[in-house]
Amino acid sequence: MNYKCKVKISEVTNLSDARYAAAMGFNYIGFCFDNEKSNYIAPIKAKEMIDWLSGSNIVAEFGNQSIDEIKDISELLQVNAIEVENRILPDELKQLSKAAIKKIDVCSFSDEELLKELEAYQSVCDAFHLYNSKSYNENENFLKELCIKNNIIWNINCSPDTIKIIIEKYNPFAVNIVGEDEEEVGLKDFEVLNNLLEEITNSN
């Protein structure tokens, strides 16, 4: 598929989502190994799904796990990249020897603080996944500048109704979509996701 930017799906919990994402040419397929999240998946279950996939980069998504646990899981599953949302230091992140994505809640920082956070990790991160955990007023010029200077995976105020405008306005490196549960095993309605992809597909 010819998308206007790269596409990442995160927190995948079922094979239907995983195979759909691979078939549709998503660049990144993420599995959440943070057991405090509702979409946590056991590594052994994720491995069963990963074995079915090809063509996409597999991302192991972590929360407050230790550096050793992150290393063990990422090596067990032979993932292409790791995504972390914790206070792992840049030097520690570098030790993992994997492509790294730093996930950041923009609501936890002022613009100045966010800029410093990105600068601190810029040399060891391949991309930054920015999202908002609550209502967030976008500083348009500031965010445009971040997208110019960094590989931003965008998940701020993101919905099927806004995603086309977001891409045209900010031109991010990628957009992030969150996986959803199956209605029942093997049964999934992809209408919403199909409509979203129509919005970000180049017509030519």
Q: State the SS3 of 63-92.
A: CCCCHHHHHHHHHHHCCCEEEECCCCCHHH
- Domain assignment present for residue 13? The answer is yes
- Domain assignment present for residue 192? The answer is yes
- Domain assignment present for residue 204? The answer is no
The pLDDT score that the predictor gives to residue 159 is 84
- Give pLDDT tens digits for 28-77: 999 999 999 999 999 999 999 999 999 999 999 999 899 999 999 999 99
User: Helix-strand-coil percent breakdown of the chain, rounded to 5?
Assistant: 35, 20, 40
Whichever domain contains 95, its CATH number is 3.20.20.70
The pLDDT score that the predictor gives to residue 87 is 84
Residues of the chain with pLDDT under 50: 184-186
- Domain assignment present for residue 31? The answer is yes
The pLDDT score that the predictor gives to residue 203 is 61
For residues 177 and 7, the answer to whether their CB atoms sit within 8 Å is: yes
Domain range enclosing 66: 6-199
The pLDDT score that the predictor gives to residue 121 is 97
Total structural domains within the chain: 1
The pLDDT score that the predictor gives to residue 57 is 98
The pLDDT score that the predictor gives to residue 73 is 97
